[in-house]
């Protein structure tokens, strides 16, 4: 009499494979979403033309201790304006005051000031803020304030940023122009 061994059970391998595939999907989807939100930033932008030289605008913009006297948006700022330094800023919008500690990325007197602030660990809600001063005619400049937002929660905050923060960009630009005019005379 011949006996045949029973066929080995193969039920575990398909279950394991399905489990690994499910785990892979669960891991890839959030990583893909995080990459997508960082590759597609949301940007706010506000510009104003000012009858002044780049140096005059820079003098007001870089005088952080004077911000409480004139700035309706960044109502307090302290720290050193040098690459790699940490600032302490308090921003005001219709939702109230928010304190944060951005890292200075660029300081080019008369041309550019740029920093990056991160709320929670990086990649969740990051904002790279930039002030660009461009001469457009003798004694006239364009000041452009932008903030480039990236992170996984940004898509859920775009309308709030547009409604609350963008008006403050415009208010700060206007106040800075008035301050430059007041300090020139």
As a whole number, the mean pLDDT across the chain is: 87
Count each helix (H run) and each strand (E run) in the chain, helices first: 5, 8
Please give the domain boundaries of the chain with CATH numbers for all domains. 17-184 (3.30.530.20)
Q: Which helix (H) or strand (E) holds 27?
A: helix 12-39
Neighbours of 160 (CB within 10 A): 12
pLDDT tens for each residue of 67-88: 999 999 999 999 999 999 999 9
pLDDT at 184 > cutoff 80: no
Predicted model pTM: 0.78
pLDDT of the residue at 5: 63
């Amino acid at each position: 009499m011949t006996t045949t061994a029973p066929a080995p059970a193969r039920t575990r391998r398909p279950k394991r494979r399905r489990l690994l595939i499910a785990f892979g999907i669960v891991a890839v989807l959030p990583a893909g979403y995080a990459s997508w939100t960082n590759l597609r930033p949301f940007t706010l932008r506000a510009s104003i033309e000012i009858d002044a030289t780049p140096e005059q605008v820079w003098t007001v913009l870089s005088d952080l201790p004077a911000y409480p006297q004139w700035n309706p948006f960044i109502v307090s700022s302290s720290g050193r304006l040098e690459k790699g330094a940490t600032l302490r800023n308090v921003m005001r919008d219709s939702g109230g005051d928010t304190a944060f500690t951005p890292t200075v990325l660029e300081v080019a007197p008369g041309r550019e000031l740029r920093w990056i602030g991160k709320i929670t660990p990086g990649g969740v809600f990051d904002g790279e803020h930039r002030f660009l001063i461009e001469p457009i005619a003798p004694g006239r400049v364009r000041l452009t304030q932008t903030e480039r937002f990236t992170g996984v929660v940004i898509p859920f905050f775009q309308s709030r940023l547009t409604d609350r923060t963008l008006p403050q960009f415009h208010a700060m630009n206007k106040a800075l122009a008035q301050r430059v005019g007041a300090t020139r005379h």
